[in-house]
Amino acid sequence: MPRAAPCCAFIGLSPQVLVQNSEQVTAIVRRASRNRVPASKIAALLEKARASIGTGQAEQVIIAHLRDTLIIIKELEAQARMLDLDLESAPNVASSPLRSLGLSAPLIATIHAESDPITDEKAPLAVRRVCRT
């Protein structure tokens, strides 16, 4: 998940909420920008948020949808990790000669799925040639 996602997911985007949680917002912006956004710029942005009148209900709907989207992304990432683990034990991946090249299980499964059966190759160099293309 992007580094700024905690700001959106747990603090929100409402100008009033950002101002109320200015210490957390400052910490998240500093971390997400890898300290490239100076404290003076963050303070200026928070001051503009303080002066903002906001957008009320529409803002709350957008925030709710954004939070739901971030939850779905997190769930999809977890499912992808589970699929990667399942691929580790797949018979064609576990016994693949491509393992000796140090390739990951998802990459090995992709190569097997996209290429002719690997047993058709006569020599190890032919397999390496397949992997490079």
Q: Mean per-residue pLDDT for 85-108?
A: 87
Number of structural domains found in the chain: 2
Tokens 């390739």 found at: 103
User: Do 40 and 97 fall into the same domain?
Assistant: no
Give the least confident one: 47-61, 87-101, 104-118.
47-61
* Residues 18 and 45 reside in one and the same domain: yes
What was the pLDDT predicted at 70?
94
Tell whether 102 and 76 lie within a shared domain.
Answer: no
Q: Is the pTM of this model over 0.85?
A: no
Is residue 100 domain-shared with residue 115, that is, in the same domain? yes
Residues 80 and 95 in one domain: no
**Is the pLDDT at 36 greater than 60, yes or no?**
yes
If you write DSSP's letter for every residue of the chain in order, what string do you get?
Answer: --TTHHIIIII-S-HHHHHHTHHHHHHHHHHHTTT-S-HHHHHHHHHHHHH----THHHHHHHHHHHHHHHHHHHHHHHHHHHHHHHHT-HHHHT-GGGGGT--HHHHHHHHHHSS-GGG-SSHHHHHHHHH-
Give the model's pLDDT for residue 2. 52
- Which residues constitute the domain of residue 22? 1-88
Pair 4, 21 in one domain: yes
- Is the pLDDT at 62 greater than 90, yes or no? no
Same domain assignment for residues 27 and 15: yes
Residue 127 has pLDDT above 90, yes or no: no
Residue 111 pLDDT: 87
Same domain, 82 and 110: no
Residues 117 and 62 in one domain: no
Rounded to the nearest integer, the mean pLDDT of the chain is: 81
67 and 31 in a common domain? yes
Least confidently predicted of 18-32, 52-66, 95-109? 52-66
15/70 same-domain check: yes
Are 103 and 113 in a shared domain? Answer: yes
